[in-house]
Structure 1
Amino acid sequence: MLDGPLPEHERLEVLRSCMKDGRITAIPVRRSARLVLLDRVARAFEPGVRYSGDEVNTVLRGFSADVSALRRGLVDEGFMECGRTRYRRCGGTVDL
């Protein structure tokens, strides 16, 4: 069964249960909850800006020591795309 988007109150609950002081404490197993967490991480990157691998790692270290798992999740779930040497945010929510 595929998970659908979560209502706002559930999104907030996911973030409360998986993060403390801006750091990730747990990565949800349920895909819809994991997408909420990855969306929060993706929002640390400006849409369309190209980032080096080192720049991405620096930002991701602010969330978790496991930067490779976060980077892989962001790319696999379509929040970021990776070129030969650069990453670019291509998905997720934005503040208007």
Structure 2
Amino acid sequence: MSHPSPRSVADLFSAEGRLVAIPRRPARREALLAHLAETLFDLGRVYRETEVNEALKTVHEDYPALRRYLVVGGHLARTKDGAAYHRQRTAPVPGGAAPAVA
């Protein structure tokens, strides 16, 4: 059984830089989400939901699913009202559990 590698993330994108499909396998999806968080969102910056949507639309049309996966996986944190997002500094919790917000 192969493990995700940086090359496997690149394989998920078309030549035009669009995501071909959101992986179903948790390990591959996790590798993709980490890549998207690092390449689309800056640490220390707060994003409005519309900005998150616009960034995710550049790679895939199902941006609501990607946004949800990023939040649930702990890559992005969101305010309770869903108006503001920011990239998490810590690695996601294994198993996709969302870290508690203080």
Q: Which of 50, 54, 59 is the matching residue for 1:58?
A: 54
**1:25 to 2:20 alignment:** yes
Give the Cα separation in 2 of the matches to 1:41 and 1:92.
Answer: 15
Deviation readout 1:24-71 (Å, 9 max, x if unpaired):
111111111101111121121001210000111110110111110000
Give the Cα separation in 2 of the matches to 1:92 and 1:40.
Answer: 14
- Structure 2 gap ranges (5+): 92-102
Q: Offset at 1:22?
A: 1.8
The total of aligned residue pairs comes to 85
Note if contact 1:41-1:63 (Cα within 8 Å) is conserved in structure 2: no
Q: Which amino acid aligns with 1:87?
A: Y
**1:79 to 2:94 alignment:** no
Superposition TM-score, scaled by structure 2 size = 0.74
Q: Offset at 1:92?
A: 7.2
Q: Offset at 1:11?
A: 3.2
Note if contact 1:61-1:67 (Cα within 8 Å) is conserved in structure 2: yes
Q: Which amino acid aligns with 2:84?
A: R
Note if contact 2:9-2:35 (Cα within 8 Å) is conserved in structure 1: no
Moved more, 39-48 or 64-73: 39-48
Give the Cα separation in 1 of the matches to 2:90 and 2:22.
Answer: 17
Regions of 4+ moved over 2 Å: none
Q: Percent identity?
A: 34
- Structure 1 gap ranges (5+): 1-5
CA RMSD of aligned residues (A): 1.8
Note if contact 1:47-1:89 (Cα within 8 Å) is conserved in structure 2: yes
